[in-house]
Every structure is written in structure tokens, then in C-alpha cells.
Structure 1
Amino acid sequence: MASLSGTVPRDGGGGARGGGADLRPVIGVALVAALGGLLFGYDTGVISGALLTIEDDFSLTSLSSGVVVSSILVGAMIGAAGAGNLADRYGRRPILVTAAAVFTIGALMAALAPSAILLTAARLVLGLGIGTASNLVPVFIAEVAPPRYRGRLVGLNQLMITLGIVLAYVANYALHDVTHSWRWMFGLAAVPALLFGGGMLLMPESPRWLALRGHTERARAVLERVRGVGHTALVNAELAEITAGSEGKPAAPRKGRWRALADPSVRPAIVAGVGLQILGQASGVNTVIYYAPKIFESSGLGSSSSILATVGVGIVNLVMTPVGMLAVDRFGRKKLLATGAAIMTLALAGLAATLAAGGQESSFAWLAVLCVVLFVAAVATTLNVVVFIIPSELFPARIRGTAMSATMFSNWTMNFLVSLTFLSLLDTLGGTGTFTLYAAVCALLFLFTLRRIPETKGKSLEQIERELAPRASTL
């Protein structure tokens, strides 16, 4: 398998498939854009340590603590819903620069917040940045990446999200003895936010967005920049495919972009993209991450052992993400996701059975830990890698941002609902019933993948659009 460096060897088709392109320039662009993912991860994960001292400083109740924590998800829903329409109108790059400014303002607001109400407002602002980044970073990278390596380049976003969560945990640990430590924890996020904004100011606009607006020569200049020097034939072939895909398909009018999502030719992509987000989140993936210590305690582990086991889960999540990035362009999105969904089903079914059989016995408790680790490894290697890649590839360029808004809004909404209901489910159904339910959802995800997710490996975005349109008659 070729690495993400140096020159891409020519594949059979060459040309617009990305054969012969120098990957170094596009890796640089992808890494800068993926800083948005790092901020996504950091601002999501930092609350776990910050909340301990925030509760003391502001005398928060369980309800008000929940409001502070969940406000970022509400902001993410709003950001995800609005960012795509703006990106389709003004371009990907300026909206990502705006997101960096929002991240910076939100971080400083949170660090300086004099009350729980203003801290909640700051978390809402940070959520706007997270929703925007979750929407547009994958789209931007997908639109500048060569098809052969698009999967792992878009996967950099997920890797940076995971890295951001780990950095948040490190900051929480390093600053926990500092006076008003939570202010420093939040404020540190302004540094990568400024780097993200400054870096995006130096980045080019998406060549596909430029071509759709009729700026063909500007699109050519961007392709020449991100494909490296001396690849004129490759650039010409890719630009020809992009412009051919745009002919007769002008950008949707401002007031018609949301209505355009109901177009029958777009329906297969919408079903695949939104369905993946709903089932992926409903599988309980984030509840396992958010509530791992509580799950382990309910299986019979002590408090310190539960925290130690949770650290191990975080390490597994980080280590397995690059494995998925390397696999996604080799094995394909559909096969990878189907395999992951099958393993997730077995892992959660095993966890449910372990909780039913083990009671509070320590040997069964560690078996429960192994089931959780297997689940997280499968999620990190498969679902979490493709959940941003697949929708960033499916939608036509003229409405790609708006369609991603619908997709990511469904992601954040389901994330909020599942997180909100997990503890109630645990109280009502117990661990066995709850994880049996999540296992059933994973099984549905497996069947949905086989039925509705198209394989996009190695195909140009324009080819994917052409192949999906005929599927509308089957829905």
C-alpha cells in the first residue's frame, strides 16, 4: 500500500484518477483544514475535566451541569444546519475561516465567563464552530483530494478529532491543580483556532466550487497548486471531468437549495448519507465514549479501575483510527463499514450477555471491558472513519454543502437524543436491555450498508454523481 507521501504511482486509468500526482501539496492543504477537526475534538472532550471545578465555582446542580455540557450539541446542530447553505453560496474557504473566528471567540468567552449562563452561551458558540467544521472540513478535503487517496485524506479529519480529544484529556490532567483551571482549559483552544484561521487564509478555494461558478482558470490554478509541479496532463484531465460534470448543472439558487434535496436524482445520496448518520449515532457509539466509567462500574469494577479502563478505551480509539484510514482506500468504504457494523453487533451483544450473566463478579467485569474495547476498536477503524468520508463524496457539487448540512444536522440531533436518553434507558432496561437494543441497531446498520451505501472507492466525485442518479428509480 502506498503511503501518504511522495508521488502517487500511476494506476490503470491514470488521468483524473490521481495517477502520478505529487501528494505533498494536497496533504498540506488537508492537514490545515483538519485543524478544524482537532478543535472539534478538543472542545468536545475538554468539558470532562473542566466540569469538576466549574460545578464548584458556580455551584451547579445536576440539571444546570447538564445544560452546560449539552449546550455545545445544540450549537453544533445549528452550525451544521446553516454552514452548508453558506458554503454553497460563498465558498468553502471563507466559511471555514469564519468557523475559526467562531472557535476563537467561543474559547475566549468560555475562559472569561463570569457566570454559568454566559458559560452556556460560550459553549453554544463553540458548538456553532463544531457544527460548521463537521460539515465543511470533510467536503473541502474531498473536493481537493485525488480520488485514489481521497478516503484517507478525508480521514485525517477523524484522526485530528481523536487527537483533539486526547489533547483535551492531557490538558485536563496537566491543569487540574491550577486555580480556576477550567478557564485555562477552555482558553487554550484559542491557540489552535488562530492557527486554523491563519492557515485557511493561505489555502486555496475548492476547485469544484470555482468550476461550478464558472471560474475555470482559477479552478485550474488550484489544481496545479495541489497536484504539484509538472502534472499538466493530469490537471487538464481532472479539470475536464469537473467542468463536464458541471455543464448544464448550475449552482442551485439561494432559495432553492433545500428544495433541491428533494430532487429524485439526489434521493439515493440523501437516503445513504442521512441514514448512515442516524443509524451510526443510534448504535450507541458516543454513549460508550461519554459514559464508559459508568458502564464499567455497573459491570462490577471499582471507581479507580473504571477510570483506568476508560483511559485504555481512549488509547484504543486513537491507535485504531489510523488503521481505518489506511484500510478505507484499500478495501473500500462499503466493505469496511459492513465489517465494522457486524463486529459492533457482536461486541454489544457480548456486552449485554456478560452483564446479564456476570452480576458484579470481577472476572465478568473485565470480560465486559474487553467487549467495550472490541466495540470501540471496530468503531474507530470503520464507522468513525467513513461517517464523514461517505457523505462528503455522495452529493452533487451544486448542493454539496447544503446536503452535508442535512446530513450532519441528523448526526448531531441523533447524538443529542441518544446522549440524553442513555441514562434513562439504563435505569429502565438495565445494562443488558440497553446494549441489546444498541446491538439491534448495529445489525440494522449492517443491513442498511449492504442495501443502501454505494461503493465510492477510487471514483471521482463526478463519476459517483453519475452512477447514483439511476438508483433513484429503485427508491
Structure 2
Amino acid sequence: MTQATGAPGAQHSALPADLPGPHSRRLGLIAVVATFGGLLFGYDTGVINGALAPMKEDLGLTAFTEGFVVSILIFGAAIGALVGGRLSDRYGRRHNILMLAAIFAVGTIGCVLSPSWQILALFRFVLGLAVGGASATVPVYLAEVSPYERRGSLVTRNEVMIVSGQFAAFVINAIIFQLWGEHESVWRFMLLVAVAPAILLFVGMLRMPESPRWLSSQGRDPEALAVLRQVRSPQRAEAEMAEVQALAEEEKLAQTGGWADLAVPWVRRLLLVGIGLGVFQQFTGINSIMYYGSQLLEEAGFSADAAILGNTLFGLASVVGISVGILVMNKVNRRTMLLGGFGLTTSFHLLVGLAALLMPDNSVKPYALLVFAVLFVFSMQGTIGPLVWLLLAEIFPLKIRSFAMGVCVFCLWMANAGVAFGFPPVVSSIGIAPTFFIFAGLGILALVFIATSVPETRGVTLEQFEDSFKTTHA
């Protein structure tokens, strides 16, 4: 593949500047409400970390059923991303988020009341459907309501909420365990907390607008313009609406909308780019740290208590990393940040591996491994983590945006599952050093992929990027 760049930093004189005003506050409120879906995503994937031990004792889980209960959510998320994307294209982004909020609540209550591991696994799968659906829908919704000048920071707020949800799960689990740790069903209290943000998401989205770009794709232009007037200055709303309408007409003539579009070379190319981004994001091994951080630290030489404490640093590094990333997201080109991010994570993979291989087994070695692992998490969550979700929300044509997002996120979740299943036995069989050298090798492949294939999207509207990429690769 040749390098695919897409007019980075280009500005369209046809679009007036999006000046601050009441519409800015409205847009900020929409972002806050919609990203409760990301908070639920993070909490439901992180809560199992602290809930698993009392859950295992209460329900009598074996090694097999324990792994099944943990992993079933990942497979549900893969399916939820694929199906959720199609439903979002058909019925609308807002409609999909409302439905997902209800599924989050039902899945959470079902898990809390589960009398056996079989019922628990069933409702964990239901939660997975909601997690996957949210991962495919919320970034697209945010991208489509945002002006291109603020799209990076607004879409990335969803990733902030995901890592904040994971960190909150670690902290809430610790608090609940301190208060009711002697109770055999303490894990049910940990899971129950997720009902509150699910209710807030549902109630909040009732008052939020539909995506203007989706409305236009359905021929509902007056409604689309009304939404744009809520979140843009009057002059900007009119100009942007004209651009959305023009592209929607082109897509109707092209009959875009699903698998048939893969026969179009430039659409197929974008889908392959999106799949590659999702898979390489997971092949950084970030979720090997987020799922098995305490086990990794014990393997490195920490005591069990110290490993649990050290594990909270991974959550803190995630939150700090994503916060720093947001500050520079709209100032640095996407490709530059991705290349820098993979360069950093690959370097820290090598440092973890070299420290594990070459340092003598003394009291310093575990702390060296902890520092390098924390720096890896910080680097990944400040660059690759949010950028991949942002690019997936930006690069696809309007009419298949959620469908293509669903396919890519399905592949992302399957890569997640592969890392989740493979990490413990690989570390057990070959050790920490060779495992992280494997991650470093995958990071080098990712750098080649980004340099040769990933387009630039910063500084242009979704419609401008699509038109430019289509012209270049038709």
C-alpha cells in the first residue's frame, strides 16, 4: 500500500469559524451525556478484576467456569459491535444509545441477581452486547455532532470515560471490599453500582438530539438543520448543512450502505485500514495489563498485597495519559501522534523485556518493571488508545459509518480476546521477557502499517476527508 494522506490541516473557506456561544455549552452537554456509555464500558470491563475472587467462592467457580464467566463478555462485545453498528445505521445513533442504556441496566441487574454461574454467564454476555454496541456507536455519534475543529477532543472524551470507568471500578471495588468484605455476596454490590450510570445515560439521551448527519442520510434535512443550529453558530449551521446534503446525495447515487460497498476499492481500503488500527491497538497488549496487572506484578516479584496496590497505578496512568492526550489532540496530526505512540510503547515493551531478562533478581527489579509498565500504559492511553477510536469514527463514508465501525470494532474485540486468552499461558510458558519482545515485534509491524496506509483526518470535516480520499483512491 502507498501512503494515504488526506489534506492535513486544510481549512474550507466555505465554512465560517465555529465561534463560542450557547451552542458550545449544548454541545458540551451532549458529549457528557453520551459518554456515560463509555463509563459503563469501562466499569463493566474493569469491575470483574476485584469481584472475581468473592464471586468464585460464592458460586463455586472452577478454573474453567471462572475463565468462561470472564471471557464471555468479550465475545458478547464483539457481536454487539457488529450488530450495534448495523442497528445504528438503520435506526439512528441516539436510538441505539437509548437501547444500549436499557441493555446495560438489564444485564447488570441480571448479573447481580444470578443464582448460578450459568445465569451469571448469560447476563455477562448481555452486558457484552451493550459494551460492544456502545464502543461502535458512541464515538460515531460524537464525531457526527462535533465541528471538525473540536472533533478530536470531543470524541476522545469517550476514551476518557472508558479509562475512568476502569479506574473507578478498581477504587469502588476496594472501598466496597473494605466495608462488606466479610459478606459472601460482596461481588454483587460491586456490580450493582453500574445501574446508576445506565439510568443516567437513558434519561439524559431522552433530551439529546439525533445525529444531524444520520438525519440527512434519511432525507430528514429540516431536522438535521435544526440539530446543527443547536450545536453550531447560525452561519456555520447553514454552511455545514449544505455540505452534508451534497455528500448525502452523492452517496444515494452510489448506493452505499453495507457489504456491497466492499466492491468499491476506496471503501474496501478504508475498511482494511480501520481493521488494522483496531487489531494493532489491542496487540499493544494494553488489556493484558488492565486484566492481569496484579498477576503480572506478582510474577515480577511483588507480594500479593503490593501487586494489588501497584495495579491501581495502571488505572491512574490511564487517566493521566488520556488527559494529556486530549490537551494535544487537536494540535498534532493524527498520524504523527500514532507513530509517536507506537514508537513509545514499542520502546517500553523492549525495556520491560530487557529488564526482566538482564537485571538480577533483587529488590530493585520488580520496581523497574513496574515503572516501565506504568510508562507503557501512560504512553498507550495518551496516544494510541484514543486516536484509534477517533480515526474509526472519522474515516468512513456517512451511510456505512456505523456498519464499518461495527466490523472494525468486532475485529478489535476479537484481537482483545486473543490477547486476554493468550497472555497468561504465554507468560507462564516462556516468561515475561519473551512475551514483551513479541509485543515489541508487533509494535514494529504497526509502525510500518501506519506509515504506509493510515490517512490523515485532522483539520477537515468528515465530508471533506471523504471527498478527498475518494478522489485520491477511486
Same fold (TM over 0.5): yes
Deviation at 1:86? 1.0
1:309 corresponding residue in structure 2: 310
Measured in 2, the distance between the counterparts of 1:40 and 1:13 equals 36
Structure 2 match to 1:431:
432
Q: Is the 8 A contact 2:46 2:291 kept in 1?
A: no
Given that residues 272 and 452 in structure 1 are in contact (C-alpha distance below 8 angstroms), is that contact kept between their aligned partners in structure 2? yes
- The structural deviation recorded for 1:122 is 0.8
Shift, 1:13, TM fit: 4.8
- Structure 1 pair 359–431 and aligned structure 2 pair: CA distance change class (3 A): farther
> How far is 1:451 from its partner?
1.3
SS of corresponding position for 1:459: coil
Instruction: In structure 1, list runs of 5 or more residues that go unmatched.
Output: 1-10
Query: Which residue matches 2:244?
Result: 242
1:232 aligns to what? 234
Which residue of structure 2 aligns with residue 288 of structure 1? 289
Seen in structure 2, the aligned counterparts of structure 1 residues 209 and 88 have a Cα distance that, compared at 3 Å, is same
* Aligned-residue CA RMSD (Å): 1.7
Query: Which residue is 1:53 aligned to?
Result: 54
Letter in 2 for 1:433: P
Structure 2 residue 203 is matched with structure 1 residue 219 = no
Deviation of 1:18 (Å): 4.8
Alpha-carbon spacing, 1:252–1:284, altered in 2? closer, same or farther (3 Å): farther
1:185 maps to a residue whose letter is M
Alignment partner of 1:43 is 2:44: yes
Partner of 1:157: 158
Aligned to 1:203: 208
Residue 258 (structure 1) shift: 2.1
Q: Is residue 146 of structure 2 the alignment partner of residue 145 of structure 1?
A: yes
Can you give the 5+ residue segments of structure 2 that lack an aligned partner in the other structure? 1-9
Residues 114, 283 of structure 1: alpha-carbon distance in 2 compared, 3 angstrom cutoff: same
Tell me the secondary structure at the aligned position of residue 455 of structure 2. Answer: coil
Deviation digits for residues 216-275 of structure 1 (CA, Å, limit 9, x no counterpart): 111100000112xxx221111110111111113129879x61222342121231122110
CA distance in 1, matches of 2:33, 2:464: 27
C-alpha deviation, 1:299, in angstroms: 2.2
Secondary structure of 2:265's counterpart equals coil
Residues 1:260 and 2:261 aligned together: yes
Which whole-Å CA distance do the structure 2 matches of 1:470 and 1:325 have between them? 31
Contact kept? 1:286, 1:415, Cα under 8 Å: yes
Q: Map 1:108-127; keep pairs closer than 5 Å.
A: 108-127=109-128
Summarize deviations over 1:392-429 as a string: whole Å, max 9, x none: 00000010010001110001000001110111211232
User: Does residue 186 of structure 2 align to residue 185 of structure 1?
Assistant: no
Instruction: Tell me how far apart the structure 2 counterparts of residues 173 and 384 of structure 1 sit (CA, whole Å).
Output: 26
How big is the shift at 1:51?
1.0
Partner of 1:341: 342
Whole-Å Cα distance in 1 between the matches of residues 20 and 397 of structure 2?
24
Superposed CA offset, 1:333-353 (max 9, x none):
111111010010110001101
1:205 is paired with a residue of what secondary structure? coil
Tell me which residue corresponds to 1:3.
none
In structure 1, what is the equivalent of residue 301 of structure 2? 300
Length-normalised TM-score, structure 2: 0.93
Cα distance in structure 2, aligned partners of 1:425 and 1:135: 30
Conserved in 1, the CA contact under 8 Å of 2:11 and 2:460? no
Identity of aligned residues (%): 36
CA offsets, 1:343-380, max 9 Å, x none?
A: 10110001101110125322122111121111111101
Of the structure 1 ranges 359-368 and 401-410, higher mean CA displacement relative to structure 2 is found in 359-368
- Label 1:471 to 1:362 Cα distance change in 2 as closer, same or farther (>3 A): farther
How many residues are treated as equivalent by the alignment? 459
* Residue aligning to 1:271: 272
TM-score (norm 1): 0.93
Which amino acid letter does the alignment assign opposite residue 450 of structure 2? T
Rate the CA distance shift 1:262–1:50 in 2: closer, same or farther, 3 A: farther
1:294 CA drift (Å): 2.2
Aligned partners of 1:421 and 1:195: how far apart in 2? 36
Contact 2:261 2:268 in 1 (8 A): no
SS in 1 for 2:102: helix
Equivalent residue number for residue 3 of structure 2:
none
Write the distance in 2 (CA, Å) between the matches of 1:471 and 1:411: 27
Is contact 1:333-1:457 (8 Å) kept? yes
Q: How far apart, in 2, do the equivalents of 1:298 and 1:210 lie?
A: 53
Q: Using the alignment, how far apart are the partners of 1:389 and 1:14 within structure 2? A: 24
Task: Give the partner amino acid of 1:435.
Answer: F
| Distance of aligned partners of 1:401 and 1:115 in 2 relative to their CA distance in 1, 3 Å threshold | same
Partner of 1:19: 18
Distance 2:382 2:265 in 1: 33
Q: Which structure's relative contact order is higher, taking Cα pairs within 8 Å and 6+ residues apart?
A: 2
- Distance, in Å, in 1 between the alignment partners of 2:74 and 2:37 is 16
Alignment map for 1:73-152 (pairs within 5 Å): 73-152=74-153
Cα distance in 2 between the residues matched to 1:30 and 1:253: 31
Shift of 1:287: 0.5
Asked if the contact 1:101–1:197 (Cα under 8 Å) also holds between the matched residues in 2, the reply is yes
- Contact map agreement 1:40 1:130 (CA 8 A) in 2: yes
Taking the aligned partners of 2:127 and 2:217, their CA distance within structure 1 comes to 31
**TM-fit CA distance, 1:317:** 1.1
Question: Shift in Å at residue 17 of structure 1?
Answer: 6.6
